[in-house]
Amino acid sequence: MSQKITIEPVTRVEGHGKVTIHMDDKGQITQSRLHIVEFRGFERFVQGRPYWEAPVLVQRLCGICPVSHHLAAAKALDVIVGAGTGDGLTPTGEKMRRLMHYGQFFQSHALHFFHLSSPDFLFGVDGDPAIRNIIGVALTYPDLAVQGVMMRKFGQEIIRATAGKKIHGTGAIPGGINKNLSIEERDEFLKGADPLNADKMIEWAQGALDFFKNYYAANKDFVDNFAQFPSNHMSLVRSDGALDLYHGRLRAVDAEGKKILHDIDYQEYTNYIEEEVRSWSYMKFPYLKEYGKENGWYRVGPLARLNTVDFIPTPLAQREFEIYKALTNGKPNNHCLHTHYARLIETLHAAEMIRELLNDPDLLGNDLVIKGTKQKEGVGLIEAPRGTLFHHYRINDDDQIEMANLIVSTTHNNEPMNRSVNFVAKSVMTGKDIITEGMMNSVEVAIRAYDPCLSCATHALGKMPLEITLVDKDNNIIDRKKSH
């Protein structure tokens, strides 16, 4: 008799998902799927609203990455108000947004590493679940836990200074920004008492990276072989090929490093990217049109970014990038767990960028907004911590939004997450009579590497309905339950 194992909710992932693993009567894994219930209500929610409200409204999508949505929407509306596509703002406008963005990156990556991932590394994937969590980290490695919390706090304070309040941040507006940075705010971030200053954050970011490198050195086989499979990779890159998390052109490379999307203008993304609907998941599966559904899927996020860019434009992160790239002889890195490595290099880069920006006098300027000839449609792209984030709006003659389309990072990573789940399920569960907690956690470790934000992907902040469907071999529904 075949078995179906269901893991739900996927722990330490934003929102709730469901993993279903089908096992035949010989103990072979026949199919594994990550199910996510996508609720497309948010696009409808913003329709009819004045366009200038969008950067504030979209923050309600997600309590984890409101700043990314805020900035992606603002970038799309820059186009609509005729302020260009990301690089046409005043120096103060652009650099304040960048500071906000790198603050968001820093705190989001710190949360993921210290809160969600480090327990697996410190206590082992099959470690005691009672301590394999941040409370266990706080008890066993108190200095590390405090670092994680204070790095989060530093990033949050940067966001507060640039975006305004934690809820309803209003910093970015169409065509620019609504405030500059005061000298007092700047000096506090640069010279504040330890640990809340930029120098200490760089030191701690380097320390977190060194921690992972040591872990990797001691566990190379595991890290290299866990959910390792070839894929395409996509991200924004700066015009000179540098890592740029705020603005650039869209590039994709294949598993061998060949460019398959050639630094295109993202305003034209619909010419290159399509979203596929599959019957068993409400979350769409994006792919590059030219390569089709089977071959055109790709990863986004830290792993993908360090595969697409040519270099990192800050010295410490660049040095680490070179060490990292040498692991794969300069070829794209397709090792799932190296995503953590890449994420920590980006954390270091974000800390360096924060310090560089804080030393830039343009942040103190007063020329905040520009406007030009209004357009009807605009696309805003940004590299959110989890990957490339698309916001696309069209307005009517009354300045109301009449169309909105959002593609979030977790949606881009839908196919690779499913492949990762399948890879790990086959590796650890095939032929086993007993499914241990450690095996189940291994599946979740694969998903967590992508840091998916299901609430964001499903556009259902607050609480997401969870539906459980039992089907027989002919796909007849045996039972269905839904919780709220």
Partner 1 sequence: MTKFKRVLIYGYGNPGRQDDGLGAAFIQKMEEWISKNPCTGINLDCNYQLNIEDAEVISGMDLVVFVDASQEVIEDFSFTRVDASSARVEFSMHAVSPAFVVDLCKKMFHDAPVTYLLHIKGSQWDFKEELSKTAVENLEKAFTFLTNKILKGELLALESN
Give me the residues that bind partner 1 (CB under 8 A), please: 9-16, 41-42, 44-45, 57, 59-61, 63-64, 66, 111, 114-116, 129-130, 133-135, 138-139, 142, 145-146, 148-150, 152-153, 156, 165-168, 453, 455, 461-463, 484
Cα–Cα distance for residue pair 469/445, rounded to 1 Å: 24
CA distances from 201 to 61, 104, 238 (A): 29, 14, 25
CA distances from 395 to 85, 170, 398 (A): 17, 21, 8
Cα–Cα distance for residue pair 285/292, rounded to 1 Å: 11
Phi/psi for 31 (5° steps) reads: -165, 140
Residue-wise DSSP of 316-340 = HHHHHHHHHHHTTTTSPP-BTTHHH
Task: Tell me how far, at minimum, the Cβ of 166 lies from partner 1, in Å.
Answer: 5
Task: Indicate the residue among 40 and 355 with the shorter CB distance to partner 1.
Answer: 40
The DSSP symbol for 300 reads -
Task: Tell me how far, at minimum, the Cβ of 374 lies from partner 1, in Å.
Answer: 26
Task: Tell me how far, at minimum, the Cβ of 46 lies from partner 1, in Å.
Answer: 9
Task: Indicate the residue among 146 and 255 with the shorter CB distance to partner 1.
Answer: 146
Residue-wise DSSP of 357-420 = HHT-GGGG-S--B---S--SEEEEEEEETTEEEEEEEEE-TTSBEEEEEEE-HHHHTHHHHHHH
Task: Indicate the residue among 16 and 35 with the shorter CB distance to partner 1.
Answer: 16
Task: Tell me how far, at minimum, the Cβ of 47 lies from partner 1, in Å.
Answer: 11
Strands (E), 12-143: 18-23, 29-35
Which burial class, exposed, middle or buried, applies to 434 when counting CB atoms under 10 A from its CB (0-12, 13-18, 19+)? exposed
Task: Tell me how far, at minimum, the Cβ of 343 lies from partner 1, in Å.
Answer: 15
Task: Indicate the residue among 41 and 330 with the shorter CB distance to partner 1.
Answer: 41
Task: Indicate the residue among 64 and 439 with the shorter CB distance to partner 1.
Answer: 64
Quote the crossing angle between the two packed helices 183-191 and 142-163, to the nearest 10°.
170
Here the tokens at position 109 are 């990556």
Task: Indicate the residue among 60 and 355 with the shorter CB distance to partner 1.
Answer: 60
Task: Enumerate the β-bridge partners of residue 387.
Answer: 384
Task: Tell me how far, at minimum, the Cβ of 209 lies from partner 1, in Å.
Answer: 20
Closest-CA residue to 186 (of 369, 348, 355)? 355
The DSSP symbol for 192 reads P
Cα–Cα distance for residue pair 69/53, rounded to 1 Å: 13
Task: Indicate the residue among 143 and 256 with the shorter CB distance to partner 1.
Answer: 143
Task: Tell me how far, at minimum, the Cβ of 312 lies from partner 1, in Å.
Answer: 26
Task: Indicate the residue among 114 and 121 with the shorter CB distance to partner 1.
Answer: 114
Task: Tell me how far, at minimum, the Cβ of 137 lies from partner 1, in Å.
Answer: 9
CA distances from 233 to 114, 299, 303 (A): 26, 5, 8
Task: Tell me how far, at minimum, the Cβ of 173 lies from partner 1, in Å.
Answer: 18
Phi/psi for 70 (5° steps) reads: -55, -50
3-class SS of residue 429: helix
Task: Indicate the residue among 130 and 478 with the shorter CB distance to partner 1.
Answer: 130
Exposure string of 452-481, with b = 16+ CB inside 10 Å and e = fewer, is bbbbbbbbbbeebebeebeeeeeeeeeeee
Task: Indicate the residue among 57 and 181 with the shorter CB distance to partner 1.
Answer: 57
Task: Tell me how far, at minimum, the Cβ of 177 lies from partner 1, in Å.
Answer: 22
Task: Indicate the residue among 163 and 234 with the shorter CB distance to partner 1.
Answer: 163
Task: Tell me how far, at minimum, the Cβ of 237 lies from partner 1, in Å.
Answer: 28
Task: Indicate the residue among 196 and 370 with the shorter CB distance to partner 1.
Answer: 196
Task: Tell me how far, at minimum, the Cβ of 483 lies from partner 1, in Å.
Answer: 11
The DSSP symbol for 52 reads G
Cα–Cα distance for residue pair 349/309, rounded to 1 Å: 14
What is the C-alpha end-to-end distance of the chain, expressed in Å? 32
